[in-house]
Each structure stands twice: as structure tokens, then as C-alpha cells.
Structure 1
Amino acid sequence: MSTTSILMTVLGIVIFAFGLLFSIAWHELGHLSTAKLFGIRVPQYMVGFGPTIWSRRKGDTEYGIKAIPAGGYIRMIGMFPPGPDGRLEARSTSPWRGMIEDARSAAFEELRPGDETRLFYTRKPWKRVIVMFAGPFMNLVLAVAIFLGVAMSFGFQTQTTEVAGVQQCVIAQSENRDSCESSDPVSPAKAAGLREGDEIVAFDGRRIDDWATLSDRIRQTTGPATLTVLRDGREVTLDAVLKKNAVAKKDADGEVIPDEYVVAGYLGFAAKTEIIPLSFGDSVVRMGDMIEDGVDSIIALPSKIPDLWSAAFGDGERADDSPVGVVGAARIGGEVMNLDVPAQNQIAMMLFLLAGFNLSLFLFNMLPLLPLDGGHIAGALWEALRRNVARVFRRPDPGPFDVAKLMPVAYVVAGIFICFTLLVLVADIVNPVKIT
């Protein structure tokens, strides 16, 4: 690897690291701002974990940066209510009970006179939901803003109706060969006189504006058809006879399904691809698809573990859709800066990488599991439901839901997450996902 390549790789990693730190700080700012809005005292706002490398106190809160940029946190007093007797309970010899009491004790650290009215658990459930949701929501806002901004100003690589090349013969795509054989019939596009550079503007007399529509109409047609092409500034009509052929199967969104084929109409040309900015509406649709894919990826995480293990400790290949961690994403950032593409393409790819990271933070944190934000949201919603049910049936108020009682489960969940994170880390180091 040349010195320039090394420098560009380091630059990509540094850019991603700053983007990561900003995303974490932005997330915690959501928690901090809403907590202060509702009068909850926040002793600490920290970006990173481990030893503190810089901090400054302003008002009630210490703001700082820690050495390991792998997360962040704010510390609010009174995250959990006191025990049944109204006081912090004595230390128990039961390990499960001890976990609960440790969590409860930590929630009351730095309690000062007058803080009785500034405890997190004393706020109404809807306010606690807002405080816990605000962090992930900030990541969603950042992801949407970056995605829409880049999609509308830069765009995506998109197939157009311009002809990039004409196939010489009809070859089933399932055969995976490029050269023609004597038994192969001439492709309909070549027989019709279609040329590289032609722009197809109509098919069978119906105007065409995009590749997806043209592709669908070609697939639905066998036999005679007319093509209207824009050639050298004027429209020319060509007569073609489309043939049946085994072509790649598409899903409901028009995306090609790997290694699956269907018999459909075939013309025989390659469409030119260009980077085209999207309209606001199309950008929103693409963002929706991105969120849907993100949800599917979160759901599919458990099924990825065997392949990850094989890629990390065996001779298995690392799949393109394999989960990546911070290290893997940073390596991808380094690769982006080494691509032989214009600088604006590199910037767009880095921004998309950051948008995807923020979307993942939002979706992951919304899982209704402690210690994630979604777990605290679920606890507040359950408390609201219990109190409303009690009010309807005129029963005594059950009081705050003691989320601390779920801490043993939270430790198990955290342990699973840590093991998964370490597995991804090993795979990112020994068998990384590569975009090249």
C-alpha cells in the first residue's frame, strides 16, 4: 500500500470517527435537553467511555469527553424509585437482589437537598417517554436530514433509458457467459438497428420516462414492437421482434434477486447508469425503503450469528449484508477515501455511511429491552397503563413501576449484546466487509 493510500485510509477513518462522536453527542443532547426541560437534574453529560480526557462544569452538569469513543451517556438522578419501604434497601446476599439494589443505589448518587422534586422517576410517564425517546429520535432526525440532503443534491446511481451497449446475440442470463456461439440467435436490439447512445423515449407508441417502466414493458412483450429513440437530436422509430429469454427475476420493489430467473420478453441492450438527484417525494420513498431494510436487518441479526462466527473463526466468507461494528464501519470509511472516484462521490458515500449509522442507532435503541432507551420507554408506558386501568376500576394507584426489578434481565441482555459486539469486532478485524 502506497503512502498516499495509507494517508487516505487514515483520513477516512478520522472523518468517520468525528462523525461517530458527533452522532453520539447529538443523541445524548436529545436526552439532556428534554431532561432539563422537565426539571430533572443531570449531573453528567459524557461522550465516550473510560477515563475522562476533558470536562467542564456548567450549572448542575459536568460536560466532558472520555477516551473510548464507543458510546456516551447522561446521568440523571432518580432513574429508579426507592424500594417498597421508601428508602434505599439494605444490601442483599442474593445476587439478583443485589443487581436491583446496585441499580437503585446508582440512581440516587449525588442526591442533594432539594433534589426530591428533580428525580426522573417522579415525572409523569409521558414526560419520561419523551426524555428516553429524544435520544434515538435525534439520530433519526440526523439520518433523515443527511439522506434527504444528499439524495436531492447529489443523487443515486440510476439506470436510464439511454443505451450503453447492444448485445450481439440472445444468451440466457442464467448461463453467465458473454461470448456468442454460432447457435445463438441475433439479439432483437441488434436486428432492429439499436445503437449505443440512443435514448429510448417511447415503446410501442407509449412515452417512456424511466428505466423501471421501460424494463417492465420489455419483459411483458414478446413478438413485434416499435421503439422510438432519440438519435442525433431527432426521433427515429425502429421495428423490433422481442424474444423470450431467461432473465433475472425482480422483487416487488424492482430490485434484481440474485441467482433467480424468469422467462420474459427480451430486447438485448445494456442501460446507461448515471448519478441523478432525486425529487423530494422520491427521496422520501427511498428513505422509507432504507428504514424498512434497517428494520429487517435488526430482526435478522440472530440469524447472522452462525455466518459471523464462521467468518471470524473459520474459513467462511463475509457476506455483503453482514453486520458491521464501529471498527468495520471505520474501515469502510477508509476504503471510500481510496476509491478512484471524484471527491464529491466520496463525500456523498461518507455521508450515506453516517446516515446509515444513525439510522441503526435509532432502530437499535428502540428495542423494548433494558438497558436500551426502548426498555425505559416500555417501562413508562406500562406504568401509565397500570395507573389508567386502576383509575378506570377505581382501584388504588399502584405507584411508579419499579424498572430496577428488571435489571437482572438487563444484565443478561447487556451480556448478549457485548458478546455479539465482540464477535462482530473480531470479524471486522480478521475478515472485514469490503466495498471494493
Structure 2
Amino acid sequence: MLVVIGIVIFFFGLLFSIAWHELGHLAAAKLFGVKVTQYMVGFGRTLWSRKKGDTEYGIKLIPFGGYIRMIGMFPPKEDEKHGRSASSSPFRAMIEDARQMSAEEITPEDEHRQFYQRSPWKRIIVMLAGPVMNLVLAIGIFTAILMGHGTYTPTTTVASVSECVLPANAPNKDVCPPGAKPAPAAEAGFQPGDRIVEFNGKPYTTWEDLQLAIRGTTGPVPVVVERGGQLITLHPVLMRNQMPKLGSTSEYETVGFLGLSPTQELVKQDIGGVVDTIGGFVSLTAQKVIELPQRVPDLVAAIFGGERAQDSPVGIVGASRLGGEVLSSDQITVDDRIMLMFNLLAGVNLSLFVFNMLPLLPLDGGHVAGALWESVRRGFAKLVRRPDPGPFDTARLMPLAYAISMVFIAYSLLVLVADVVNPVTLF
């Protein structure tokens, strides 16, 4: 029951994020006098709608996105100078079909309310408003969690000691196979509760710095720990072992290995810590979005029974399932379950922001790039005293936009299948 409740709650959280995104576009478009005929959450058949003023508000059957419909997205067709008809090629027919669909709802009284007629900076604001709304929501959620609840931060106190040396990609990390080497920490006598004070002659107060020192060291090293109020010097012999790269669960490197894990302490962040943490989230999310094409082989392998990494791409189905898994988990407290669900929702909004900023049509970033190019082109024409070249005709890019859309759809279907047959799990 908790799994189902978690899935439903998170699913509606995702729908709210989509509606919130489109609300940004809607508000900015209306602010600049652009007529918006539809505001829809979802695609396909309309389940419910109501018209208020110029705009029809509604919910559609397939909840995998949303849109607003603005009149005059593309400028009118220029005169054909070489006598070619609109149907002279499939691409040209595609362009003109898109232009015609954009112009269908334009009435004489709405001639002055078309999107393409707005100056480039206004069009940029309209297209940026959607992703920025997702960014604002993500920042708001992260800030509330980091400052109000806190985040678990690793300390220099030992939580557990590994019994033996196993590579990071070992199939079972809980069982030491016969003949496995004892872990350096276990061999040297480390115990849970030990607080590491010095490592190789240098004092450490944060786990991050200590971890880097451990990963960069091999051989015998003196380590001073506080145990029961007394300082004790231990002498582990660090060895090299395969470990996940910092910030990754799917990439590995060979580094110095001690064989212990730190305790986690709930710490509330100040403004500086919030800014640093959110900046790290944005950077990591951007990196993961850029890596999406590289994850195709892993997704295909996961569909046919391969390992599914925790940082594997997920769609709305996979994300909702994670929400159900979090809410039903008995490995963390109720407060932590709620905070983790909000963290997941904030992460989804951050991903929507970064993904939509890609300068590709039909994404928002593609329209922003077109408006920027128009601004540069007009500025250059004015500088060299040439005639105004007019608005940039994004309709000419529709064949490319359709091709990119097909790639997005194929990738989404691949992720959907992987989410169903081999879902990502957190616990």
C-alpha cells in the first residue's frame, strides 16, 4: 500500500512540475501580449478542459509532458524568388505545413498578438520562463531541506570496517570469498566509533579531505584515532583497489584503499552551504544530461538482464516507482523518507531545467538560440547599415526539429522499457 501511495504522490508531484513549467511560459506570453489559445498538461485526447478568456485550460490523457499553444510561432512565408512551389520537396512541404498550422488560429483582430512579432528579448523571456520555473522550484525545495531539515554529512568517525578487500563491482559485497585479503583497516585494528584525528601526520576534520588523502596513498601510514577519550596510533598498510569515482556509481578507478566507512551526521546548512550544494547539483545534472547519449548501451543491456546503475536515466514511470520505493522503505526514518521524496522531486525539476536549456528545437533552448541569432543578425545589419533582415524563420528548422523529436521519443521509449523490466532501485 505504501508503495502505491508513494507512486501516486510522486506522480502527481511530477504533473505539478510540468504544469508549473508551462505556467511560466503562459504568464510570460500573456505579459507581452501574445495570444495563448491552449494550456495543456499531457498529450493526446483531452480528459478535461475549461476555457477562460482566450485560453483553453485542460488535462490530456498521456501525462508525459505539456505545452502551451501561442499564435504566430513562425513568420509568414517569404516570396518565392525562384518559382519553386511549396511541395517541391518533402522538407519544404514539412516547413509549410508547420507554418500553416501556426497561422490557423490567427484572426484579423489578433494580427498584432503573434509570437514572432515580439522583439527577440521578449521571446527569449517567454521561452526561458518555463525552465526557470523548474529551477526556482528545485532551488526552493533544496533550500527548505538543507536549511530546515539538514543533510546527512559524512564525518571522520568510523561507522563500519570492511572485513576483506573486494573490488567495487564485486557481485556480493557482504560476503568475503575464501582467500580474500583482509582489509587494511581491519588488519590494523580499526573499530566502529573510532574518530580519525590524524592521517599520515596531518590533522583532518572533514571526511571529504580525509577521503582524498586515503585514495591518494598506498603503503604503511600512521593514523591517530580517538577511542574512548584516548588517542591511539594505528599502522595500516594501504593498498590499491578498484573503487567508484567520486560522484559516480557506474565509473571506477584504482585508488588507495583503507576499508572503512564514515558515520553520517545530520547538519543544517547556512546560505553559503546551500549555494555550494545547489551549484554542485546543477553541475552534476548538466554533466549527466550531456552523458545521455553514452548511456544507450547500458540501457539496452539493462533491458536484457544487465546491471542497472543507480544513476541510470529514468522517465516518469521510473521516477514515480522510486517515489513508491522511498515511501515504503523501512531502512530510513519517516522524516528521511519524506525528505528523500522531496529531494527526488527537486532533482527532477533541476533535470527539466537543464534539459530544456539545450539549444535544440523543439526544446525551449532551441527557440532561445533562434531569437539570439536573430538579435545578432539584426544588430550586424544595423551596424553595417544594411536593411533589417527581419525575424529569423525557425520554420525552416522544422525538419531538423522533427528528427530530433523522433530521437527524443525513441530514447524515452528505451528508458520506459528499462524502467519496467529492470527498474532503478535505491535500497
- Give the alignment's TM-score, normalised by structure 1: 0.84
Alignment root-mean-square deviation, CA? 3.2
Following TM superposition, by how much is the alpha carbon of 1:370 offset from its aligned partner in structure 2, in angstroms?
Answer: 1.2
Contact 2:165 2:182 in 1 (8 A): no
Q: Aligned to 1:316, what secondary structure does the other structure show? A: coil
Unpaired stretches in structure 2, ≥5 consecutive residues? none
How big is each residue's C-alpha offset from its partner over 1:173-213, in whole Å with a ceiling of 9 and x where there is no partner?
A: 5597876999979967886x765434345568865432223
Aligned to 1:103: 98
Q: Write the distance in 1 (CA, Å) between the matches of 2:275 and 2:106.
A: 46
Aligned to 2:319: 329
Equivalent residue runs for 1:15-414 within 5 Å: 15-85=9-79, 92=87, 94-165=89-160, 172=165, 174=167, 195-201=191-197, 208-216=204-212, 225=222, 227=224, 229=226, 231=228, 234=229, 236-247=230-241, 260-263=253-256, 266=258, 269-312=260-303, 314-340=304-330, 341-414=332-405
Aligned to 1:430: 421
How big is each residue's C-alpha offset from its partner over 1:327-359, in whole Å with a ceiling of 9 and x where there is no partner?
A: 111111221122112211111121121112111
Following TM superposition, by how much is the alpha carbon of 1:278 offset from its aligned partner in structure 2, in angstroms?
Answer: 3.3
1:396–1:224 distance in 2 versus 1, CA, 3 Å: closer
1:92–1:215 distance in 2 versus 1, CA, 3 Å: closer
Contact 1:304 1:322 in 2 (8 A): yes
How big is each residue's C-alpha offset from its partner over 1:124-166, in whole Å with a ceiling of 9 and x where there is no partner?
A: 1111111111111111111222123223333333321223345
1:182–1:379 distance in 2 versus 1, CA, 3 Å: closer
How big is each residue's C-alpha offset from its partner over 1:113-132, in whole Å with a ceiling of 9 and x where there is no partner?
A: 33222111111111111111
Count matched residues: 418
1:57–1:359 distance in 2 versus 1, CA, 3 Å: same
After TM superposition, the structure 1 stretch with the greater mean CA deviation from structure 2, 314-323 or 409-418, is 314-323
Give aligned-pair identity as a percent: 51
- Give the alignment's TM-score, normalised by structure 2: 0.86
1:124–1:153 distance in 2 versus 1, CA, 3 Å: same
Q: Write the distance in 1 (CA, Å) between the matches of 2:322 and 2:249.
A: 24
Q: Write the distance in 1 (CA, Å) between the matches of 2:404 and 2:161.
A: 56
Following TM superposition, by how much is the alpha carbon of 1:256 offset from its aligned partner in structure 2, in angstroms?
Answer: 8.5
Aligned to 1:3: none
Q: Write the distance in 2 (CA, Å) between the matches of 1:422 and 1:254.
A: 27
How big is each residue's C-alpha offset from its partner over 1:47-78, in whole Å with a ceiling of 9 and x where there is no partner?
A: 11222222222222222222222111111111
Contact 1:43 1:76 in 2 (8 A): yes
Q: Write the distance in 1 (CA, Å) between the matches of 2:272 and 2:212.
A: 22
Contact 1:174 1:261 in 2 (8 A): no
How big is each residue's C-alpha offset from its partner over 1:287-308, in whole Å with a ceiling of 9 and x where there is no partner?
A: 2222222222222222222232
Contact 2:244 2:252 in 1 (8 A): no
Q: Write the distance in 2 (CA, Å) between the matches of 1:103 and 1:336.
A: 44
